[in-house]
Structure 1
Amino acid sequence: MPYDDSVSPTPHRRPLLVAAALAAVCLSAAGCGAGGDSGEAQARPRQGSSATSAVPPSVPPSRSAPAPDKTSASPPSASPSKTTGGRASGPLSGKTVVIDPGHNPNNHLHTREISRQVDIGTTHKECDTTGTSTNSGYAEAQFTLDVSHRLRALLQEQGAKVILTYDNDRPYGPCVDERARIGNNAEADAVVSVHADGSAVGNRGFHVILPALVRGGAADTSKIVDPSRDLGTRIAGLFVRATGSAPSNYIGSNTGLDTRSDLGGLNLSTVPKVFIECGNMRDPKDAALLTSAGWRQKAAQGIADGITSYFNG
């Protein structure tokens, strides 16, 4: 969850549409095909986005937010290296994807270090933050690393070279500017920063954050705005299909897309990059999904499908 999303959101009611409508719009408008800044902690909703995306049926209600399910759909063991290649002959062979797991599970032990101000191109902000958690204590940083491992495995299976900005291999961070540099230095074909939001109860659903046009200081997003919008639109449409979750009912006017100019991870990127807030950890119904290993596998699949669709054009 990006840290500067700290303003209390204003909930909006979401229309209930059938899945068929979603698929049709996804294919025709979003081009989906077949199938917080990373260290910036509380989520501030921003209403409206010029992009459009399909609106899916509502997520089936859940009774409570259980402890994380570790018994099914377990991710592969973390690789000792952050950089790993896929199958030489896979459909994504030759593509480099950087996955940026939001926050770090140990950030709370290094508050001084993560509070250090860094240049995000337009202003200065904290190096990183702790992120949010469910009411039962399941941390956003645990969620993001788990989904990132699952996503890595799916992309590697298709032949992509996958780089994680960190893999539980450092005491805190990395800072948001370093996260951006990792993608830039890798000359990544796509970068996805994985997060979960921390908003009010009743605020539900996912949203994808796109870079705004920013020019100033170290920031110039002019070359990545359009491809990032394409990447984000495809991820949003296929995330719906894979998970059954609906776009956010409190950010992005039910499109599942939000454009921001205040996130260093986007402002400093020179390669196509988006953030995805997979759900609201503070809502019991969304939390029940986010703490489910089976649902996290679906979330990883939806993101992978969106990335593949983006590469396939």
Structure 2
Amino acid sequence: MKRSFGDKATQLVITVLLLLLCVSVIYPFLYMLAISLNTGSDAAKGGVYLWPREFTLYNYQVVLGNEVIRNAYWITIARTVIGTVAGLLITILAAFGLSYRGLPLRKVLLGYVLITMLFNGGLIPFYIQLYNLSLINSFWVYILPTAFSAWNMFVMMRFIQGIPEALIESAEIDGARPFRVLWSIILPLSKPMLAALGLFTAVTHWNDWFAGAFFVQDQSLIPVQTFLQQLLSAQDMSAVLGTGSTEALIRGTNINNVTLMSVKMATVMISALPILCVYPFLQRYFAKGVLIGSVKG
């Protein structure tokens, strides 16, 4: 079918806008990458935008040679894996249970969950609650408070309710108990939705700096994003030269080749690359899960 001039003009405008959006997203990333791969003293002169002028890996050696950030990576990886698995497990169990229309007090439970999603007690009561639960300055402060998401539960419940009831009824007639139904029917059909919710949860855990900054004082328990937040607000190199291994590494190179800005950019790249590498492998499940959720909801 031949398109009209108006359709072609609209398509051209949309294409140009999308290209500009892509450039606005990609350029800052390329700029930070170029600065992180350039010697700090040379980058301070300006003029480094898309590629390094004096290539070096000193900045990454400084960052990866820091014991604090290496430990922060293990904390971030651990909280992301454990938090995502715990979140999906609790979400699927709660959504599956509340999807049964004959569940006693179902409306009361749904109303209670909805209230927690709409209203918040505030930061100070939340801190007091964490303190009373002995979660302050603990690794589990990253896991337990975020293990349940009302929004994810409602999305998952609507998806489960969209599954044909004949499948569940036939399994129950054959003698399948609820956990058997969950394992054999619900979970296999829910993989795209679980992938989408899992990606949301994992990205939230990976990018969270707030919990480490306000609920943890032990530097050995802070995640990498909290370390990055501390580094970005630092005024000198003491934030990254606090360990003997890093100081020795700097003494083995040229201190003038490393600046606070170049180290900051290297830290940003190291903290962003892992989640960027994982996303392409889950993108097809993510898109399918969001589409199914929107249709079933």
Q: Same fold (TM over 0.5)?
A: no
TM-score of Structure 1 vs Structure 2, range by shorter chain: under 0.3
TM-score by length of 1: 0.22
* Bigger proportion of residues as helix: 2
Higher RCO (CA 8 Å, separation ≥ 6 residues): 2
Report which of the two structures shows the higher radius of gyration computed on alpha carbons: 2
